Amino acid sequence: MRLLETVAGHQHGAPAKQLARETGLALPTAYHLLRTLVHEGYLQRDRGLFFLGDAAERLVSSGAAQKRRSTIVDTLAQWRDLIGVPIYYARYRDGEIEILCVSETPSNPAVHEWADFRETGHAHAIGQCLLSQLDEAARRDHVDRYPVQSLTPYTVRDDHTLLRRLERIERMQPVTERQEYVLGTICAAVPLTVGDAAATIALSLPVHQSERLLPAARQLQREMGRRVGSLALAISI
């Protein structure tokens, strides 16, 4: 690890003797470790100089991805505790709805996925919010692949009604649904558009707390506005 760190500090590469001296390793030990690291792809050697290899670059990339996910997880947990509701992060990617992170507590449990979220986007606030960010052709393609189906007495009834509803959703406004996915639960989703990516941060509440839904959604939207820079960076890369 010291060798890798030392090589990383030399943009134009460094010879074995210099690396041994800077890491405090005996030269034969340094040579042995350098050969092993080259063989495994963590270093590459060119004209006697050592540089980071492809395997090291992948390691760095994986670490950065973990850090970005950690940023999202920590942020959602802060909002969960501040607002007192379960918080969800989802994206629309490659034609599919993906729930990427859920932050809940025993006292504020998340919605149980009793029907596949990917196939029931018409019935929950997350799906409706994501679909509202798409163009008309992409919405119709999604509905063709996942037609409307009744999950509760409150679920939208047909594809045409759903598409009309999506057209009426105002840009950057919270999207709400009340017992359309599961009885006893209401939800709100705030759009989070980063470049071409459609994303959302959402929350859910038991139906007996209906009066909290819009105030909680507005509070979530304000908190998102304060963290939009870090969220955009974490989501867009």
Give a yes or no: residue 58 inside a domain: no
CATH number for the domain that contains residue 159: 3.30.450.40
CA 86, CA 205: separation in Å to the nearest integer? 8
CA 152, CA 140: separation in Å to the nearest integer? 23
- 224, 116: one domain: yes
| The pLDDT value given to residue 66 | 61
- Helices then strands, counting H and E runs in the chain, come out as 9, 7
| The pLDDT value given to residue 72 | 85
Give a yes or no: residue 57 inside a domain: no
List, run by run, the mean pLDDT of 10-residue segments along the chain (237 residues). Answer: 86 90 91 90 89 78 61 90 96 93 94 95 97 95 96 96 95 94 98 82 97 97 80 56
| The pLDDT value given to residue 227 | 76
